[in-house]
Amino acid sequence: AAFAQTAETGTPVPFADLVALLERIFLRHGTSERVAAILAENCASCERDGSTSHGVFRIPGYVGSLKSGWVDGRAEPTVEEAGPAFLRVDAANGFTQPAFLAARDRFLEMVRDNGVAVMAIRNSHHFSALWPDVEPFAREGLVALSFVNSFACVVPPGGKAAVYGTNPMAFATPVAGGDPMVFDQAASSMANGDVRIAAREGHAIPAGSGVDRDGKPTTDPKAVLDGGALLPFGGHKGGSIAFMIEVLAAALTGGKYSREVDWSAHPGAETPCTGQLFIVIDPERGGTGAFADRVAGLIGNVKEAGQDRMPGERRYARRARTLRDGIPLAPARLAELRALAGD
């Protein structure tokens, strides 16, 4: 993440061991085996790739939601065909990723048959990064876009009350001869997870990121979390993107708007229950026969022009390193995870 420091020191834990440890935590707190396996793989992948704001730091939040009864760790999603290229998925108050994966095979058939398809997921708790959802599509030769809304913690530009969530969007495209190009970014100045990490570690946040409870600019993460709010990135332009994501991920799917998320009766809950939209396109339907080469060419142009790093490259480099050397986890964090697993 842009702000949180990725831990590079600590006990190196092999990826498979981290997945197994997280799986035990989910199972111990009431999920089905399938849900535990999916969430453990997803969360360990975030930690592996250095997506620190959505790695193991989030495990107490997942547990809080499960323990408080806010989320159903055993939910059975339902998948409904709303047209030849439109799937509607009701996650039934469960986590989003198991609902998404339950529909994914049929969704891929729709994309192949029609050149494009939409998946609209509702009643779903997404508490992770989005890149794990979209990167695999690009590895299968497809272009993928996804949008999620979260919970009200972002004020519209010039506004006083939080209306939007941090509302991430992700884009993935195949690239000839290389890994997919994937960007995955919040519509806010920074992710709420990074604000929480800053508060925990006693760092200020960058000027212009957020406001306190009186609407005054602040660099104190605790003031943002305690009645304040984040700002959209890029002023009114980020505000419009946050708006679009509320429309696509909530109004269109039937999920809740970020400002409708009300977990006040579930102390400890942290996973917003909203919606997620996917739009996946088969780029071969463009008829150029050279799509992935063209994208590789564009990346070449961007790099020649002076951009030293494409989105996704940092993650891939860290993935290669941690798969070889293990994922460094601070001893206190590892102890906390083992305690949650009942080890």
Interface residues with ligand PYC (CB under 6 A) are: 53, 127, 150, 166, 186, 191-193, 272
The residue count for the chain: 343
Residue 334 burial class via C-beta count within 10 angstroms: exposed 0-12, middle 13-18, buried 19 and up: middle
For residue 295, CA distances in Å to 54, 116, 173, 276, 286 come to 29, 19, 8, 26, 13
Which CB atom, from 185 or from 322, has the smaller least distance to ligand NDP?
A: 185
Q: Which residue has the tokens 């002023």?
A: 235
Least gap, CB of 49 to ligand NDP (angstroms): 7
- Pick one of ligand PYC, ligand NDP, none as the site partner of residue 315 (Cβ within 5 to 8 A by kind): ligand NDP
Question: 196 — phi, psi (to 5°)?
Answer: -65, -40
Q: Which residue is nearest to ligand NDP (CB)?
A: 129
Q: Which residues contact 125 (CB under 8 A, 6 or more apart)?
A: 65, 71, 91, 93, 94, 95, 96, 271, 272, 273
The SS3 assignment for 312 reads coil
Give the angle subtended at the CA of 341 by the CAs of 340 and 343, to the nearest 5°. Answer: 110
Q: Kindly tell me which of 65 and 166 has the beta carbon lying closer to ligand NDP.
A: 166
Q: CB of residue 165 vs ligand PYC: minimum separation in angstroms?
A: 6
Question: Which residues are annotated as catalytic?
Answer: 53-54, 194
Backbone angles phi, psi at 16, to 5 degrees: -60, -35
- What is the closest distance, in whole angstroms, from the C-beta atom of residue 130 to ligand NDP in the complex? 4
Residue 317 CB, shortest distance to ligand NDP, in Å, is 8
Q: Scanning residues 311 to 330, which ones bind ligand NDP (CB under 6 A)?
A: 311-315
Q: Is 52 an interacting residue with respect to ligand NDP (CB under 6 A)? A: no
From the list 5-13, 68-76, 107-115, 310-318, the region that binds ligand NDP by CB under 6 A is 310-318
Question: Smallest distance from the beta carbon of 132 to ligand NDP, in angstroms?
Answer: 9
Chain positions contacting ligand NDP, by CB under 6 A? 1-2, 51, 53-54, 126-131, 148, 150, 166, 168, 183-186, 190-191, 194, 309, 311-315
